[in-house]
Amino acid sequence: MEPIRIHDADDSRIAEFRSIRERDLTGREGRFIAEGTVVLRMLGAAHRAGGDFCAEKILLLENRVAGLTDILADFPEDVPVYVASGAVLDRIAGFHLHRGVLALGRRKPERAVTELIADLPQKALVVAAFGISNHDNIGSIFRNAAAFGADAVLLDQSCCDPLYRKALRVSVGAVLSLPYAKSGTASEILTVLTEKDFAIWGLSPRGGVEIRNVPASDRMALITGTEGEGLPQDVLSRIQTARIAQAPGLDSLNAATATGIALYEIAMAQRRL
Amino acid sequence: MEPIRIHDADDSRIAEFRSIRERDLTGREGRFIAEGTVVLRMLGAAHRAGGDFCAEKILLLENRVAGLTDILADFPEDVPVYVASGAVLDRIAGFHLHRGVLALGRRKPERAVTELIADLPQKALVVAAFGISNHDNIGSIFRNAAAFGADAVLLDQSCCDPLYRKALRVSVGAVLSLPYAKSGTASEILTVLTEKDFAIWGLSPRGGVEIRNVPASDRMALITGTEGEGLPQDVLSRIQTARIAQAPGLDSLNAATATGIALYEIAMAQRRL
């Protein structure tokens, strides 16, 4: 598979990479931009596994090609690899792309949250995120969920798209490896989790149990809300709450760190690590 | 204390706020820029406490003044408050400053790491960071150290300045409340900690003890290194190592999350929360 050189930023073969900073904020029929070596490797693994994701094309800075031989070998021959000089690449992307590694991926139509829950094993850990509009936070939820072996991530319809370029990067590609679904309201997701016998936990400064002491259940769900405000009262009233002990009088932990601590404790309680 | 209106970006009274994006990367005799409401509040508290930090002047977007009355009341009368329109403020700062809240602070000459360690109580928890050049990571180390009640942060001389505007913001102002020092090499800091009877722990994927099971000591130090590479071998050979159990085959946790989990566990072991 010989890389194909692109000399002109207006070349139609790389049109999907043009001005990605603006474009990746919009829906494109399941298409998304993967950026950087780590995410490219995860896209290759996902493509090979034949699951929800495949790669359509790759665009690289010319001097990156040699160092990526192993990763590129993971993609089938019919995924074209384009290369360009730094000047042409920056004109294509619309900004200085110092990483120099881009791919266009596509995901199959998503399942609904209810379908994903129905497919989970009897012993399960899921993370459900409600109202997360920040791409960094969505990415870090996936990164932590993957690190601690969660089975799935459930997003309500008000969360942002985890396939957005920055979310994908912050997740270190975990969005491509961890089953997820995004549909319905927070209330609907809580109803399904309850019906399916999940012990549902969320963090609150006034939580009833220290997170280290949360009792294990076969099926556990951790709910995460927006940084700053935390989970709304109508959610808190329907779940069990845990606290993370902290020094008095301080601003709370960063949302990603708090979720990481909670997932570590719950996964340890379930003996899944 | 009536705010003083600035009409001209070249006004010498607000010269220190000019082009802060470039300038705050350079040393300025202990001076630093505090940005945002949360950090301004912490600067007011630090000034009032009469410790290492004081405020020299404040510069606000005109429409922010009314909402900051309580915080501004914390500063003494001789700290001038300047206000400007959005257009003037952006010309001063050199970029669009949507937060609209800036202050110029000054810190007293720093103590050396050895002096700070000598001042610690018999029962102590410190975080030591070696070679952290990323401002986000330095900021998050302070945020986590404060959240879990650490007594001090020790930085080797190769770490970046925690008073850099972004590090300060990410720390949610904890850099202004938590004693810290920055001097010497990693090796020198380890020597002093050992002499002062600290049990010294660091994270490693091949750590000898699960972090949840680290035994309590009266004096404990957690060492954090660079994201990605982790702690170098010459440091690892001089400390005790703990691991955070994770799902196999994945990229490691984000450095801030890993440090947060470790600090939570160590602070719980010491019963300081």
Burial degree of B228 (CB within 10 A; 0-12, 13-18, 19+): exposed
CB contact under 8 A, A146 and B247: yes
- Report pLDDT for A249: 74
Q: Are residues B52 and B168 in the same domain?
A: no
Q: Residue written as tokens 């904020």?
A: A25
- Output A116 or A20, whichever has higher pLDDT: A116
The C-alpha atoms of residue B88 and residue A267 are separated, in whole angstroms, by 52
Number of domains in chain B: 2
How far off is chain B from A6, nearest CA to CA, in Å? Answer: 33
CATH at residue B260: 3.40.1280.10
B37, B169, B250: best to mutate for the A interface, most A CBs within 10 A: B250
Residues A82 and A201 occupy one common structural domain: no
ipTM of predicted complex: 0.91
For the stretch A224-236, pLDDT in tens is 988 777 899 999 9
A19 compared with A1, residue with greater pLDDT: A19
Looking at the structure, tell me whether residues B92 and B118 fall in a common domain: no
A58 and A173 share a domain?
no
> What are the tokens at A11?
């070349």
pLDDT of residue B77: 92
- Contact assignment for B148 to A172 by CB distance below 8 Å: no
Pairing of strands A81-84, A124-129: unpaired
- Chain A residues in contact with B173 by the CB 8 A cut-off are 251
pLDDT tens digits for A178-212? 999 999 999 999 999 999 999 999 999 889 899 99
Q: Are residues A135 and A255 in the same domain?
A: yes
Which amino acid appears at position B266 of this protein?
I
Q: How many CB pairs under 8 A join A and B?
A: 87
Q: What is the mean pLDDT of residues A156-168?
A: 94
Contact B219, B196 (CB under 8 A): yes
Judged by CB atoms closer than 8 Å, whether chains meet at B148 and A246 is answered as yes
**Statement to judge: residues B258 and B161 lie in one domain:** yes
Asked if the C-beta of A78 comes within 8 angstroms of chain B's C-beta atoms, the answer is no
> Which pLDDT belongs to residue A26?
53
Query: Is B247 in contact with A273 (Cβ distance < 8 A)?
Result: yes
For B240, the token pair is: 């005790």
- What does the pLDDT read at residue B229? 76
Q: What is the pLDDT of residues B87-119, one digit of tens each?
A: 999 999 998 988 899 999 999 988 899 999 999
Nearest residue of A to residue B173 by CA position? A251
Report whether B136 contacts B170 (CB < 8 A): yes
Confidence of residue B270 (pLDDT cuts 50, 70, 90): very high
| Residues contacting A173, CB < 8 A, separation 6+ | A34, A38, A39, A41, A42, A43, B251
Res B1 pLDDT > 90:
no
Predicted confidence band of residue B19 (pLDDT cuts 50, 70, 90): confident
CA-based nearest distance B171→chain A, Å: 10
Q: Which residue in the set A143, A245, A267 is minimally distant from B268, CB to CB?
A: A245
Q: Is the model's pLDDT at B24 over the cut of 80?
A: no
The number of CA neighbours under 13 Å toward the Cβ of B241 is 18
In this structure, are B179 and B236 located in the same domain? yes
**Partner A contacted by B92 (CB < 8 A):** no
Q: Which residues of B touch A144 (CB under 8 A)?
A: 253-254, 257
Residue from the list B212, B250, B257 with its beta carbon closest to the beta carbon of A256: B257
Which whole number is the average pLDDT over B146-165? 95
Strand order in the sheet with A4-5: A4-5, A81-84, A53-61, A101-107, A31-35
In what side-by-side order are the strands of the sheet with A152-155? A180-182, A152-155, A124-129, A219-224, A199-203, A240-243, A209-210
Residue A268 and residue A262: Cα distance in Å, rounded? 10
| A14-23, A158-167, A208-217: segment of lowest average pLDDT | A14-23
Given A107, A135, A150, which residue is the final one in a domain?
A: A107
Q: Provide the CATH number for the domain around residue A16.
A: 3.30.1330.30
Contact B140 A254 (CB under 8 A): yes
Contact state of A246 with B147 under an 8 Å Cβ cutoff: yes
**pLDDT exceeds 70 at position A23:** no
A101 shares its domain with A212: no
**pLDDT at B142 > cutoff 90:** yes
B252 touches chain A (CB under 8 A): yes
pLDDT of residue A14: 95
Which of A107, A130, A154 finishes a domain?
A107
What does the pLDDT read at residue B269? 96
Could you give the 3-state DSSP secondary structure of residue A262? helix
Q: Which residues of B touch A268 (CB under 8 A)?
A: 212, 245
Rounded to an integer, what distance in angstroms lies between the CA atom of residue B234 and that of residue A55?
A: 42
**Res. B81 pLDDT band, cuts 50 70 90:** very high
- B48 and B128 fall within a common domain: no
Domain boundary among B107, B125, B153: B107
pLDDT digits (tens, 9 = 90+) for A73-102: 999 999 999 999 999 999 999 989 888 999
Asked if B250's CB is within 8 angstroms of A147's CB, the reply is yes
The CA distance from A242 to A261, in Å, is 11
Beta carbons of A254 and B245 less than 8 Å apart? no
At B232-266, the pLDDT tens digits run 999 999 999 999 999 987 667 888 899 999 999 99
Percent pLDDT > 70 in chain A is 97
What chain B residue is nearest to A151 in terms of C-alpha separation? B247
Across the interface, of B146, B212, B254, the residue whose CB is closest to A143 is B254
Residue A248 pLDDT exceeds 90? no
Q: Among A216-230, A231-245, B209-223, where is mean pLDDT lowest?
A: A216-230
Q: What is the pLDDT of residue B184?
A: 96
Q: Which residue has better confidence, B75 or A249?
A: B75
Do residues B176 and B42 lie in contact, with contact meaning Cβ atoms separated by under 8 Å? yes
B131 and B99 assigned to the same domain = no
B248 and B161 part of one domain: yes
- Which range of residues forms the domain containing residue A9? 4-107
Residues A75 and A164 in one domain: no
Q: Go through A130-146 and write b for each residue having 16 or more CB atoms within 10 A of its CB, e for each that does not.
A: bbbebbbbbbbbbbbbb
